[in-house]
Homo-oligomer: A and B are copies of this chain.
């Protein structure tokens, strides 16, 4: 409503929907920034592929273009689109950290709330919570928070984190991050004491269920993780 007034405390262009597309492309494309297909975006955002095509044409036609789009061959973020995507990701992860640390949210609830609020906070709000939190580099799930200039904290530049499911029996690694998408999973992991920074040792993979037996920290007890769970945990081998 209210005519052509800009909606978000005077921030850059783009509606809520635009933001969602840019973030989706950013998340699906990964660090390699590969071309992303309409169908992938559609299922990520839980909308139809037809809707995606239309929006991609608009994003590509925007001034400046937010994506580079070749019909039938996928999209990619442009310079401006990537900048905006990083802003949104920064908002999201700062809000998650804020909700957990300042408001005491359980970590399985922060994602949903941040998903909504990330579109509506002002630069001032972002700046205030970043200051209050001491300009954190990682959110509660272990994901890197982009800096204001769009740069990502490097992590240990040695090895890129890999899925827990990739470890060999006997290997030990530190949890780098866990997926924030599934609250049930997060509750389960919290109950097992698994969170970023914790050391895990893969004991064995059970032959029939395919589940992973893992030792958490220095505890005696083994913990059993299903395949999807083990794929949602990224670890860094020391």
Taken together, the copies of this chain in the complex come to: 2
Q: For A132, what are the chain B residues with a Cβ–Cβ distance below 8 Å?
A: 102-103
Distance to closest chain B CB from A75 (angstroms)? 18
Q: Is A129 part of the binding interface, using a Cβ–Cβ cutoff of 8 Å?
A: yes
Distance to closest chain B CB from A123 (angstroms)? 11
Q: A20 near B46 (CB under 8 angstroms)?
A: no
In addition to A2-B45, A103-B128, A117-B121, 18 A-B residue pairs with Cβ atoms within 8 Å of each other are: A1-B20, A2-B46, A2-B47, A3-B46, A7-B116, A8-B116, A9-B112, A9-B113, A9-B116, A102-B132, A103-B132, A104-B128, A105-B124, A109-B124, A112-B122, A113-B125, A116-B122, A117-B120
How many angstroms from the CA of A135 to the CA of B44 in the assembled complex? 39
How many angstroms from the CA of A125 to the CA of B96 in the assembled complex? 12
Q: How large is the interface on A (under 10, 10 to 19, 20 to 34, 35 or more residues)?
A: 20 to 34
Distance to closest chain B CB from A129 (angstroms)? 7
Q: For A121, what are the chain B residues with a Cβ–Cβ distance below 8 Å?
A: 113, 117
* With known contacts A17-B1, A45-B1, A47-B1, A105–B117 Cβ distance under 8 A: no
How many angstroms from the CA of A45 to the CA of B3 in the assembled complex? 11
Q: For A17, what are the chain B residues with a Cβ–Cβ distance below 8 Å?
A: 1
Q: B103 near A129 (CB under 8 angstroms)?
A: yes
How many angstroms from the CA of A13 to the CA of B147 in the assembled complex? 37
